[in-house]
Amino acid sequence: MAERADVLIGIDAGTSVIKAVAFDLAGRQLGAAAVANTYREEPDGSAVQSMDRTWTDCARALRELGDVVDGLARRTAAVAVTGQGDGTWLVGAGDRPVGDAWLWLDARSAPTVRRLWAHPLERARFERTGTGLNTCQQGAQLAHMAARHPELLARAEAALHCKDWLHLCLTGVRATDPSEASFTFGDFRTRAYDDTVIEALGLSARRDLLPPILDGTTTTHPLSREAAQATGLTEGTPVSLGYVDMVMTALGAGVFAREPGVACSTVGSTGVHMRAVPARDVVLNEEGTGYVIALPIPGVVTQVQTNMAATLNIDWVLGLAADLLAEFGERPSKGDLVGRIEGWLARSEPGALLYHPYISAGERGPFIDPDARAGFVGLSSGHRYPDLVRAVVEGIAMAARDCYAAMGDMPRELRLTGGAARSRALRSVLAAATGAAVRTSAREEAGAAGAAMMAAVAIGAFPTMDACIDTWVTPLLGAAEAPDAALAVRYAGVFEGYRQARLGLRPVWNHMAALRSRTVRLDAGPEPAELAIAAGSETGN
């Protein structure tokens, strides 16, 4: 008697690691394997990744998952793949890579983005996609390639994203999903490509590079013979193309609920803040920032604002202590320092300092400014290190509130995932800063789970995504932790100061950026005429 196919595999190809995770049909995690991902950054702002290496690492993760889960190949009912969003993964003849992939971290398209911001169709592009244009996105990167690297596009036959590339390697089918297609080149209401958007990006002549749009909740393709040999899985196993990793993680963590007012924040190295709403209820801000990303639920999208840095700010402030103590002969571990955070918060006054958490050299949500920098406001001689730690933690929470304020009303319930969700202290600060009750999910691998949920619906294990959520997500949500009422009132006042300071500091950030740029030019040995221009500008000439 043949063994029942009772396993779903979710692949989550992140920027730094590729994970393959096995679940049973009820969503219980059976095992996982992970392979470190590698990419290369250069002084010119490039951030690239080998496409062949990414596929090799993905196949290795699947083989290693087979070592963890008994009988994996014969038990697998379907495979689904998600991955890092944005970026540009070009393929040419024979489905071979044109070169290394440009990642979402790649900043080379910055001058093209600035040019496109001035395009007369830019606001129309934003209102269709719901997404602010930035250097992360494939549209900006393709436009930059067309202007500066036409030889790349001359060899290209399709412009894919990371998960699209892996889906091609698994099935031999070129496609992208409705989420990345619509927030980059289309309309989030129709989930289709849009001519106005493509024209606004200056890519009408390159439209042939855009692959067909495939919804992995309704359509699968069989695992190819070559991919079966590489992964150890069975040829013909259904493969589902997932949506982009941000919404797969949010889906697995509980972003979608039948009741209104629920939101989801992933607070890790970066901060991703989103709410699921009917497409008709999307609120687009005047600054033209954020993302609107389709969910694999008909008519429902996520509004998203993302911080460049969240817990990276905590890493920085803890690093100060570690560096100072190392001067005296002993460097404490990060774990030792993290263990002291709650004590430091208990010895400091809430809302006494402001901290803007733009430690990653710029911000992208709810405003876009590459010149934004982190800083404290309100320091006095009485403040000590615990006050700085509290201000940094509160700054992360204020940045989250800033993002939600740009999307409409504050959430009633905030579902948390990411490393920070494990910290009771940070959860309490986030709850008070947003005024929302917080809940965490016991789900360990939310991104892979979200992708596997799509496969579960595609193969008919569940009739709808709603039904799948009832089994895979809702039972894993912890009890709601209500915000401290007095602290919430205080933080509401603090936020107004945070917002005013952010607006007031923008000219200062721009001024300091100009000074840094001038210093770089001087260090490079500018021509005498350039020195004269710089000196003249300083004296008002």
3-state helix/strand/coil string of 386-454: HHHHHHHHHHHHHHHHHHHHCCCCCCCEEEEECHHHHCHHHHHHHHHHHCCEEEEECCCCHHHHHHHHH
User: How many Å apart are CA 64 and CA 232, to the nearest integer?
Assistant: 9
| Whether residue 237 sits in one domain with residue 321 | no
pLDDT confidence of residue 444? 85
465 is a domain residue: no
Please tell me whether residues 205 and 321 are part of one structural domain. no
Angle, in degrees to the nearest 10, between helices 465-472 and 446-458 = 140
Residue 344: inside a domain: yes
Residues 124 and 86 grouped into a single domain: yes
Locate the DSSP E strands across 105-164.
Answer: 158-160
CA dist., res. 390 & res. 153, Å (int): 49
pLDDT < 50 regions, the chain: 1-2, 526-541
What are the φ and ψ backbone dihedral angles of 31, each rounded to 5 degrees?
A: 175, 165
Contact predicate 310/396, CB 8 Å: yes
- Among the three residues 246, 265, 290, which one is the final residue of a domain in this structure? 246
* Residue at 433 is within a domain: no
Domain boundary pick from 198, 229, 246: 246
Separation between Cα atoms, residue 26 and residue 6, nearest integer Å? 9
Q: Do 122 and 205 belong to one domain?
A: yes
Q: Are residues 360 and 233 in the same domain?
A: no
Task: Give the Cα separation of 260 and 281 in Å (integer).
Answer: 12
Q: Concatenated DSSP letters for 7-24?
A: EEEEEEE-SSEEEEEEEE
d(CA 327, CA 331): 8
**Residue 232 is encoded by which pair of tokens?**
């150890």
The predicted structure's pLDDT at residue 1 = 31
The answer to whether position 459 is within a domain reads: no
Which string of DSSP letters, residue by residue, matches 445-512? Answer: -HHHHHHHHHHHHHTTSSSSHHHHHHHHTGGGB---BPPPHHHHHHHHHHHHHHHHHHHHHHHHHHHH
In terms of domains, do 329 and 199 share one? Answer: no
Q: What is the pLDDT of residue 529?
A: 35
For strand 238-241 and strand 262-267, is the pairing parallel, antiparallel, or unpaired? unpaired
**CATH number for the domain including 188?**
3.30.420.40
- Which of 201, 224, 246 marks a domain boundary? 246
* pLDDT tens digits, one per residue of 354-385: 999 998 877 888 988 878 899 999 999 999 99
Instruction: Specify whether the backbone of 468 is left (phi greater than 0), alpha (psi in -120 to 50) or beta.
Output: alpha
Based on the structure, what is the number of domains in the chain?
Answer: 3
Residues 128, 88 share a domain = yes
What is the structure's pLDDT at 523? 55
Tell me, yes or no, whether 419 lies in a domain: no
- Helix (DSSP H) and strand (DSSP E) numbers for the chain: 20, 21
Are both 336 and 368 inside the same structural domain?
yes
**Judging by beta carbons within 10 Å of its beta carbon (0-12, 13-18, 19+), is residue 373 exposed, middle or buried?**
middle
Residue 160 and residue 81 share a domain: yes
Residue 295 lies in a domain: no
Question: What is the reported pLDDT for 335?
Answer: 87
CB atoms within 10 A of CB 340: 14
User: Taking Cα atoms as reference points, which of 2, 34, 169 lies closest to residue 97?
Assistant: 169
Q: Are residues 54 and 195 in the same domain?
A: yes
- Output the pTM of the full model: 0.86
pLDDT at position 6: 93
End-to-end CA distance of the chain: 88
d(CA 405, CA 303): 12
* One domain for residues 233 and 350: no
Rounded to whole angstroms, how far apart are CA atoms 420 and 344? 16
d(CA 167, CA 182): 19
- Containing domain of residue 44, as a range? 7-246
* 415 in a structural domain: no
**Angle, nearest 10°, between helix axes 110-117 and 138-148?**
100
Residue 424 in any domain: the answer is no
8 A C-beta contact, residue 177 and residue 212? no
| Inter-axis angle of helices 424-434 and 485-523, nearest 10 | 100
For residues 496-514, b (16+ Cβ closer than 10 Å) or e, as one string? eebeebbeebeeebeeebe
* Alpha carbon distance 392, 341 (integer Å): 11
- CA–CA distance, 264 with 302 (Å, rounded to integer): 10
Identify whether residues 328 and 240 lie together within a single domain.
no
